Amino acid sequence: MKWGIIGTGGHSKVVLEAIKSCDQNIQVTFFSKVKPDHSFFIPYTFFLDQEELIKLHEGTIDVWHVAIGDITTREKKLEQLTQNNLLIPTIFHVNSIVSPSATVGEGTFVNAGGVINASVKIGRGCIVNTSASVDHDCMIDEFVNIGPGSRLAGHVSVGKQSELGTGVIVLPNVKIGKGCIIGAGSVVVENIPDYSLAYGVPAKIIKNLTNIF
């Protein structure tokens, strides 16, 4: 299997190792706007990330993934791949648990220790990071980041482009709007409106983020 991975930051290392946990015989080509300066990438082929180069490699790469933590950039790159009708699978680390009744969109990544429980729906381009859990009947929209060790109880919903920091806990039936940032270690006990920065135990709204989106 030949993979094209867009991005050469820390998240791309995690994604590569997750892919290799399922298949050690993959071939990988990295695409990035900056040349990687870490020895981790030395064994792999690298190209500067330009749309023309991605199109050039359409016929030589089987599947693609956008391994970029920044939500806005990840969405832009995933849309580019989608417009070119390229194959963009979901990636589940071999040590993750994903319920057969869950629905997970293309380009989403679930890392080691991640748990996706019954009847969960997750949109495209999301990251469920190390040891995060999403319990039954949750609704996670597109391009959401769920930080390492976070815990979402049942019937939680999270809007598009929201980001939950490390160790966030969300209680049952809580709704987090789109474009929200929830600070690390927060406990969310009530609904959070769109474009809010919130943190604390319990989480309180600190700022409206409308002007930065």
In this structure, is the dihedral angle defined by the CA atoms of residues 139, 93, 184 and 13, taken in order, positive or negative?
A: negative
Give me the torsion for CA of 166, 167, 168, 173, rounded to 10°: 130
Tokens for 193, please give them: 């409106």
Which residues fall within 8 angstroms of residue 7, CB to CB, at 6 or more apart? 30, 31, 32, 66, 67, 68, 77
CA distances, 24 to each of 21, 153, 188 (Å): 7, 34, 40
Q: Which of 11, 65, 93, 136 is catalytic?
A: 136
Strand partners, 163: 145, 181
Active site residue 136: yes
Tokens for 145, please give them: 């980041």
Single out the residue of 118, 67, 73, 103 nearest to residue 88, CA to CA.
67
Give me the count of residues in the chain. Answer: 213
Which residues does the annotation mark as catalytic?
136
